[in-house]
Copies of this chain bind each other. A is one copy, B any other.
């Protein structure tokens, strides 16, 4: 079974992201807009139960923090992924590191660049068109993050929330 750990930003930011995702992200219907803390990984249900226990502990030792977005950026040429850039604050980076420590054999080959994907699986031409028209867009926004979620993937590719973890509250 596949699991992942994410933050859902506020409804306001999700609605804004969806206005782009609708056109540019084939995962639009599979999961709401999110910031990935831990990429999809395989685990048994028992492993996930233990992992949830650890996430509860990590959440309890963390605190709500400010999330800031400023602009639209892209992972091109590595990946044709367009996203809202999220400031890599100390708290967010710490949370990411703590969570990934727990299953450190997987998916740790990339540096953590916190982001909210708004477009992906674009051809080079599409990417260039879309990014060209969006790159100057201002997405100055800030909000408080006070929770994150553990999800699992269904057979159709969509994601269901298993559990919410409230920062500083578990």
In the complex, which residues 117-170 of chain A have their Cβ closer than 8 Å to any Cβ of chain B? 147, 149, 152, 154-156, 158-164, 166
A32 CB-CB contact with B under 8 Å: yes
The smallest beta-carbon distance between A73 and chain B, in angstroms, is 23
Which B residues lie within 8 Å of A32 (CB)? 154, 158-160
In the bound assembly, the distance between CA atoms of A167 and B163 in angstroms comes to 12
User: Quick check: is A11 within 8 A (CB to CB) of the other chain?
Assistant: yes
- Number of chain copies forming the complex: 2
Interface of A is mostly: mixed
- Least CB distance from A150 to B in Å reads 9
For A54, list chain B residues within 8 Å (CB).
none
Contacts of A162 in B (CB 8 A): 164
Are B8 and A161 closer than 8 Å at their CB atoms? yes
